[in-house]
Amino acid sequence: MPALVLLGRKWLIGSDDMVFPALFEILVRVIWLVLISMVCNRYYSWTFNCSYGGVFVRAYLIGMLAVLSLVVCVLTLLVNRSAQGAIWDTDARKMVGPLLIIKILLIGPEIAMNALGTVWAFTEYIKCDNEEFTETAIEVVVLFNWALFALTVFGLVLLLDPVGSTKLNDGQSDTTVDTLRHKKVTRVWVRRFRWLFCWIMRDEHSHEAFSQVAGLFSNLFRGTDITPTDFIAGCILLRVKQKRECREQRRLALIAEQRYKCTSDVKELFMDKPSWMCLKKAQHYMKISMASYGWMFVIYRHCCTGIFKLFPKFVCCSCFRAKPTIVKGDNCCLCNFAAVRHMSHLPSKDILYSSFRNHIFELPFCVLADHKTCSILISIRGSLSLRDIFTDLVATPEKLHFEGVPPGSLAHKGMLSSAKYIKKELEDYGVLDKAFAMHPDYGLVLAGHSLGAGTSVLLAFMLRPKYPNVKVYAFACPGGMVSRELAKLSEEFVMTVGVGDDLVMRVGIDSVEDLRSNMLHVLHACRLPKYRIFLNGFGYAFFGVPSRDLESTWKSDRIRTPVFSPKDRPLLSNGPSTSFDIAPNYINQEVFSRRFCKTRLYMPGHILHITRKKKTKEERKAAKKLKVLNGDDFEMRWATPEDFNEMRIMPKMLLDHLPENVLKTLDAVLECQQTEIGLDVAEITII
């Protein structure tokens, strides 16, 4: 950081990104140099006996030795210079640019020598008697050289910043130039999406989704000049920073007030909650909601035996046969429908409606009659495809205009569009009317995981005027979903369950923008070169963050955080402000106060957060030997939406989001407390 400017163009790399690529190329070049040296030692004297072209062979051997030796020397200097200084200390690496130019100029002689080697190895123009070792060595070097050239060209195309080479008109204000650059970056992102995800362009809403996601990506790092490797290094540093802050908080006993609210006693936790808000019911609905993930999820969970579990439930040639229920978007053998039957343990007649159509803003879902809980259950699938990811990323707030919703309420646009689609499908086919005609005494329940959880909540708001007793069980619900008033209202009918360090529960536009600002400041405060950060990151992944790194990583004794104006503070950290050194001039100071949207969105419902207990080293070793989850390993508390405003870089932030891990955690907690509020699964009823 900042991005490297070379030959009048900007590249998506920094001057400190050359260490590992150059080391890898040095290794390859040294191997080639040894092979050429061996060939030259054994074969050079024979070249004088060639009937034709001996001078060309000698020129190739000597030329390759000279070029390879020069390249290795340049690469060694490049490694040395690129490893100098911290991430922000670009002056310490000012020689990287000239060295790269020398390296690029050496490509010309390399191509010439390699062409000569190709003529020798693969044609009859040079007539020399080659021994087997010489012929094999030259062929290998020539082929790998051409492969390296192709890889170099591909890397140059991949790393070229198309916006960095665009010349804006002189005499324009900084604001105008920044706006023009933002528009150009947005167009570049749209073009990338169209090329990379060309099959999605057939979707009705693809252009709208691409445009909004491109605008979000462009705005997030607008004016930062950050490179992809800076982002990775920033995540590693944020992990160290957050662990240091957590240690300092425990040392100062600032979280003691929160910790006593945690408990492992389920009965105590749900003592003052309504009867429908029950952990066993949540476990039951989590099992059924996983069924909406379809046959791919069954294969994922049972790699070897999954197909045999589904095979008895396949409906062969269903395209030409009457279907047992309404099934949309499935294949000819109804594989997804078979997966729903397998995971829900329900017969076909109790699966009232299934849609597996998957486009942007259109999620697969199922409507089931659950006789154990006397409920009609709508199970909505979470993210499983690239289309779902684009639905997640269309995260701009949109107003809700439904009965019973506070005026001015806002919600995640992608999930709101998905909820509207599902509501329309239910109305067009009269699914709920038919379901309650068959089971008039049943209640309505919505359940889903991740994207499906957020969509379930918004769909419940739409259905409440007609079904006022609707209940929602949301698992690993995304953080940036609804405005604060709507989140408060949802506590009447929504129970949200989250596990551990789940990243998705903290994701929102505002939290990502806060992450960007924090990342820029930890990069500025770090005193280690980038290659050291990456090496440390590998060590952290296997052995954790050692205590010495919590102190030795930073330039000063205090990690600096930005000061924001009062009007920006509600969108940022709730903690007290501290002073910090101004970032270098090539970072636009507007980045730290700029907001993509003006309203923060929150997680809905009563939030049950299940976390792992802090253990000693001996306790952790004993738990590893058991290799099973134990209910005593967890503690629970009722959290607030504000507790998930900050994104945290944690080792299990992705694993804790997976649906099977959420279910395993619920199973482990309930296994130790089988008498939760005196109910058994078979006795659960929806009130």
Q: Check if the beta carbon of residue 472 is closer than 8 Å to that of residue 457.
A: yes
Nearest to 511 by CA among 411, 595, 425: 595
More confident residue, 171 or 613: 613
Q: How confident is the model at residue 593 (pLDDT cuts 50, 70, 90)?
A: low
Q: How confident is the model at residue 318 (pLDDT cuts 50, 70, 90)?
A: low
Q: Check if the beta carbon of residue 122 is closer than 8 Å to that of residue 565.
A: no
Give the whole-angstrom CA distance, residue 659 versus residue 662: 5
Q: What is the tens place of the pLDDT at every residue in 101-119?
A: 999 899 899 899 889 888 8
Tokens of 235: 């995540």
Q: Check if the beta carbon of residue 315 is closer than 8 Å to that of residue 337.
A: yes
Q: Check if the beta carbon of residue 479 is closer than 8 Å to that of residue 502.
A: no
pLDDT on residue 176: 62
Q: What number is the average pLDDT over the span 523-546?
A: 87
How many beta carbons lie within 10 A of that of residue 420, not counting itself?
15
Tokens of 301: 């969970």
Give the whole-angstrom CA distance, residue 596 versus residue 214: 12
Q: What number is the average pLDDT over the span 224-241?
A: 86
pLDDT on residue 415: 94
Q: Check if the beta carbon of residue 589 is closer than 8 Å to that of residue 583.
A: yes
Domain 263-506+602-683 superfamily per CATH = Alpha/Beta hydrolase fold, catalytic domain (3.40.50.1820)
Where are the domains positioned within the chain?
3-159, 179-220, 228-253+509-592, 263-506+602-683
Q: Which residue has the tokens 């309404």?
A: 326
Q: Considering just the CA atoms, what is the radius of gyration of the chain in Å?
A: 30
Give the whole-angstrom CA distance, residue 671 versus residue 668: 5
Q: How confident is the model at residue 618 (pLDDT cuts 50, 70, 90)?
A: low
Q: What number is the average pLDDT over the span 484-509?
A: 92
Q: Check if the beta carbon of residue 413 is closer than 8 Å to that of residue 394.
A: yes
**Side chain identity at 239, as an amino acid letter?**
R
How many beta carbons lie within 10 A of that of residue 235, not counting itself?
15
Tokens of 311: 């095979």
Q: What number is the average pLDDT over the span 459-467?
A: 94
Q: Which residue has the tokens 């789940």?
A: 502
Q: How confident is the model at residue 251 (pLDDT cuts 50, 70, 90)?
A: low
Q: Check if the beta carbon of residue 335 is closer than 8 Å to that of residue 310.
A: yes
Backbone phi, then psi, for 511, in 5-degree steps? Answer: -70, -35
With residues binned 3-state (H G I as helix, E B as strand, rest as coil), the percentages for the chain, rounded to 5, are 55, 10, 35
* Helical axes 335-344 vs 279-289, angle rounded to 10°: 160
Choose from 221-235, 466-480, 540-554 the range with maximum mean pLDDT: 466-480
pLDDT at 685 over 60: no
Choose from 216-225, 402-411, 601-610 the range with maximum mean pLDDT: 601-610
Q: Which residue has the tokens 């907690």?
A: 669
pLDDT at 170 over 60: no
Q: Check if the beta carbon of residue 445 is closer than 8 Å to that of residue 686.
A: yes
More confident residue, 602 or 562: 602
* Helical axes 451-463 vs 413-429, angle rounded to 10°: 60
pLDDT on residue 674: 62
pLDDT on residue 204: 67
Q: Check if the beta carbon of residue 411 is closer than 8 Å to that of residue 482.
A: yes
pLDDT at 684 over 50: no
pLDDT on residue 573: 37
What value does the mean pLDDT of the chain take?
A: 81
Which of 332-341, 579-588, 617-626 is predicted with the least confidence, judged by mean pLDDT?
579-588
Bridge partner list, 351: 368
pLDDT at 177 over 50: yes
- Residue 493, classed as helix, strand or coil, is coil
